Amino acid sequence: MIQMLGAFQISQALYVVAKLGLSTALVDGPRTVEDLAAATGAKADVIGRIIRVLAPMGVFRTDGGKVESTALGLTLAEGYPGSVRDAALFWMESHYAPFGELLHTAMTGENAATHYYGKPFMDWTSSNPAMADIQTRTMASLTHALRAGMFEGYSLPEGNLVADIGGADGSMICQFLAREPDRRGIVFDRPEIVPSARKVLADHGLAGRVSIQSGDFFESVPTADVYILSYVFHDWDDESCLRILQTIKNAAAPGARLVLVESVIPPGDTPHPAKLIDLTMLAMTTGRERTAGEYERLLAAAGFTMDGIVPSPTMFSFIEATLP
């Protein structure tokens, strides 16, 4: 219990490592604490003590007066394969302080981020271009890390035109369409988000087959045969999800297919990452993680028929539905 209660100290120490670029400075090999201090502009005594705390946890190794980053520590290095540095910066600079208001959420039902920032979290990030940029990079890096192997053995329902609603930088639609050259696609997201998709699509050779459109999915979405919503619904309450589904109904023809890429909470006390992520949703948004039954009821309320849930080797599943 003491370890759990004190975990906030470790997350702050890891944030310092990520923000100062200590792991980045160790990519090419061991260095002394004094070298690291000079390279980062930090105080040698302070970073030495932080390293001393994190070394027994497997983040660093120390030997002969020099510090070396472990494979775990290198996940905080900028640009390193498998890096989660962007996530460290994003969470600690946008989530950490609002979580101090979780008691307010428990007593009032208002999410902590809205109480702390004075506006909904999505509105706060949208009004802060630098934060919106790091949010996009974070979601892309987490998508790559947490969804590794997710697409193996899975194909989208039939349909020539695929729209990725809330598609961010286009990473998700690239995973699908790279293997299916006869399909075309659309990446649809907020105006401040979609510019990041241009490079991703070009890098995957899909710029000619996938268009980019901006807008508000509460107001309208493009017409398509298949709609992907990847990790979108968990950001919103049921009422908001129903509004999104209604805009899809307004744009789609009968028979259109819907694929929600989400975590599905298992029953009982079975461990699952979605249960912890639901705490993030509770504090930061009006959203939530859901059970299979909750998704089925939500889709039915909007007039969609849930066809089934296809699990993947990861924490995510493909929830398929049809518009009758």
Cα separation of 212 and 196, whole Å?
Answer: 10
Q: What angle do CA 148, 224, 240 make, to 5 degrees?
A: 75
The predicted model gives 27-32 an average pLDDT of 96
Amino acid identity for residue 216 in this structure: D
Asked if 144 is an active-site residue, the reply is no
Range list of β-strands (E), 231-288:
257-265
Model pLDDT, residue 117:
96
What does the pLDDT read at residue 217? 97
Q: What pLDDT, in 10s, does the model give residues 106-117?
A: 999 999 999 999
Backbone angles phi, psi at 241, to 5 degrees: -60, -40
How does pLDDT run across 160-212, given as a tens digit for each residue?
999 999 998 888 899 889 888 999 999 999 887 888 888 899 988 999 999 99
pLDDT at position 309? 97
pLDDT above 70: percentage of residues in the chain: 98
Q: Which of 104, 115, 234, 272 is catalytic?
A: 234
For residue range 300-310, list pLDDT tens digits in order.
999 999 999 99
Distances (CA, A) of 64 to 52, 59, 67: 14, 17, 8
pTM above 0.85, yes or no: no
